[in-house]
Amino acid sequence: MDKAIKKAVERYKVLAGQMKDEELELKQLEKQIKEYAGENRDLFDDNDQLVFDNGVKVAVRRSTKLFGSNQSKELLLAKLGDEFAVIKLDDKAVIEAAAADKALQKQLDKFDLQVSTVETLMLYA
């Protein structure tokens, strides 16, 4: 095996290990900082940000969400009709079913759809 690639693989392994350790520490620090920010909302500026001296910021982002049980949402959908419904094809289920279902395979061909294998190179350390 090529000397340069051996060196690259060794360096990759070292850096990947360091990143895992740093990501764990980063998550812990992030949790600590967010807890501090949550307990000290009075320190936020007019832009809803808590800015530390080193440039680290905690910003408040707001989004509107609909809360309630799935059953309640289903009842609302039944009342309102399909205007607010989202229908999505379950690609994984179609791929699994197409392996044994000739009629489904014909439908895929009819609509110019194909089930193909895609290769992706993954690197692990």
pLDDT band at 124 (very low <50, low <70, confident <90, very high): confident
What are the DSSP E strand ranges found in the chain? 49-51, 57-59
Q: What pLDDT sits at residue 90? A: 95
| pTM for this model (two decimals) | 0.64
Please state the φ and ψ torsions of residue 103, each to the nearest 5 degrees.
Answer: -65, -40
pLDDT score, position 101: 94
Side chain identity, residue 62: R
Residue 23 has pLDDT above 90, yes or no: yes
Q: Residue 69's pLDDT is what?
A: 95
